[in-house]
Amino acid sequence: MNSTAITTALNHDTLRTSHTHDLPWVWWAMKGSQFKLLSADPDSGHFTLLIKVAPGVTAPLHRHIGAVEAYVLEGSFHYSDDPAIRFTAGSYLMEHAGAVHQPVSPDGALMLAHFHGPVEGLDDAGNVSGRIDWRWHVDAWNAAGGNYRV
């Protein structure tokens, strides 16, 4: 048995915390949706958001450059090409890199989402019409009065 004691201390340089109820909602790139920025990592390109989608919102067609993991906290959504499969409160899903789809939320939704990379909006011909990544979210957050430092 090793008798060496291991001592740990809270290192505030390696910990980011927030009380999400105290954070404001900021309008997102998807109309009818807002986000709260929980984390953004310039080294990995990952970012984590709380996303609130209003009832009746259909997302634009988009492609995930990196995977996204989501956990539905309230409400529901489905994909436009398969409305029979609904993701309701308590659902976890992982959309792999390269996924192209169009979510629809008839009743609205609240989700925790961790993005492993950017998301590209696509036009009707499949051309890239826009791109959001960790930097876009930090800039939008700070422009709305936040003070997120990377």
Task: Give the pLDDT score at 89.
Answer: 98
Neighbour tally for 130: CB within 10 Å: 13
> Residue 12 has what pLDDT?
63
Sign of the Cα pseudo-torsion (99, 102, 107, 113, in order) = positive
pLDDT tens track, the chain, 150 positions: 444 555 556 666 777 788 899 999 999 999 999 999 999 999 999 999 999 999 999 999 999 999 999 999 999 999 999 999 999 999 999 999 999 999 999 999 999 999 999 999 999 999 999 999 999 999 999 999 998 988
- In angstroms, rounded to a whole number, what is the distance separating the alpha carbons of residues 11 and 5? 18
Q: Where does residue 96 fall: left (phi above 0), alpha (psi -120 to 50 degrees), or beta otherwise? A: beta
- Tell me what pLDDT residue 15 has: 75
pTM for the model stands at 0.89
Residue 143 parent element (H or E):
helix 134-143
d(CA 134, CA 46): 6
Quick one: pLDDT at residue 3?
Answer: 46
CA atoms 28, 34, 36, 39: torsion sign: negative
90: tokens are 């308590």
Q: Map out the domains of the chain with their CATH numbers.
A: 29-143 (2.60.120.10)
